[in-house]
Structure 1
Amino acid sequence: MNEHDFLTDRFEEYRGHLRAVAYQILGSVAEADDAVQEAWLRLNRSYSSEVENLGGWLTTIVARVALTMLRSRTARSEDPLDVPVPQPAQRGDATDVDPEHHAIVSDSVGLALLVVLDTLAPNERLAFVLHDIFAVPFEEIAPIVDRTPATARKLASRARRRIQGAAPPPGADLARQREIVHAFLSASRHGDFNALLDLLHPDAVLRADRAAIGMGASGLVHGASAVADTISGRALHARLALIDGVPGALWAQAGRPRVAFVFTTSAGKITEINLIANSEHLHTLDLVMLDD
């Protein structure tokens, strides 16, 4: 076996883990794949047999690449390329990886956590993801964010406090969201543009993943009027559902989930709608159809 084949085999052992790390930092499958590909290129350029912990070395490279991408996106005020959808997190030492799992382990970060992660500063997000989700020591995180281990610990702690402060809403709020989603579906089915406008926040956003775009959905729509115009008459077959315990909507065919409508509400208004049609992502969601 030549050195290139050897490196290829070793890299594939860690691909699932690296993709999970990149995804949690970036919240985008496409960007995560780009970060993993960049790690592969760097491995080919700079691999040394003196590297004792290849998994840890690759994790650091992917984290650095993802952090650079996240900072660049933040500077340009861009949204991630894909809808933020939950990917199972992987805990434990990066050297202990089952490549067939492809990041599937016991804990799922869930939609709520990914939404909060998008509000964190890049350094905070990276420190939290690496330490709290992937159990990377602060001594290894510190050089990635160009801080001391103590500061890296503070970054993760600050992120953790913000995440813990964004606990799921109490039952009353969930009941109110169910009413809002029910009213939204009714207005959409009847093509009631004005009713949709009343339910949407002026700065509401509609996002669709690539699978939903392939079904004819618009990729990214900004503003209440544009969202209402896009969705009016389009949710004829969507039904009220619980998505990871939160009221949303689901379109299914022959009992098979096809598109999940994930709603974010604030002060009685819909601020964000995410359309999830990717089958792998749908399988990670806890979906329960409700009676309209």
Structure 2
Amino acid sequence: MKKGNATLFNLPITTKLGITLVSFLLILIFFGEWIMPYDPFQIDMNNRLESMSHQHWLGTDQLGRDIFSRIVYGAKLTIGLGVITIILSVIVGVPIGLISGFSGGKIDAVFMRIIDAILTFPDFILAIAIAGLLGPSLTNIVIAIVLVRWIVYARLVRSQVLELKQQEYILASKISYSSKWRTIRMHILPHLIPTIIAIGAVDVGKVILLISSLSYIGLGAQPHIPEWGAMLNDGRGYFQVVPALMMYPGLAIMLTVLIFHLLGDGLKNRFDIRKRGLRK
């Protein structure tokens, strides 16, 4: 089999494992409601703060809600919003990076000044400020994070376009009077897509941490919504009595972030991104 054929059988073991685990998470997101034994919003004060049992696999919370059902339901919110946020960041950042890198001149200078101005603030602090201005909700924290994370893809794409512009086949395309869009579509985008996918896979984990952190401090999901960060906040007052209220959503966040990092790391190795000297 040729080296260039990216079939599942010739992928590195880390990439295979990452794809398998991410596939499991996607199944959990789309079909999780089939395996939830209880309504994640159902309150039962007679069974509050129960430990693990056959009826409640991970116990119940302070309002008698089944923790396992809430964890499964929360996967749809936390992971789903993480993936959506990355997709939106790519949609915003990639065209800006393409235009900036390919056009150069004043257009590039303007975009870079905007990016440099935003980069003077740490991601988390800037996301908190934007989410605080917009108000607490899951929609608003997605908007806040997109406004922060698009820069990653704009800078990445710009740097790669500047490098690719010097290649002979790009110069030949210009000499043959091909349109800018045709040159980008035929010669530049095919080289960028694998890099964007690999960086995006790692970035999903980072965004999940951001979403959970903002929900934990009250800027994202509100207490009744079983988002993992909000569940951590709900269980904070009971940590010394029932540590499982924080332990289970915390483990869910940690394992999910590790899975996406594993996938992204495997994709980076598969596409030789590190060898090409790319930086996030």
Normalised TM-score (structure 2): 0.25
Normalised TM-score (structure 1): 0.25
Greater relative contact order structure (CA < 8 Å, 6+ sep): 2
Q: Which has the larger radius of gyration?
A: 2
Greater strand share, 1 or 2?
Answer: 1
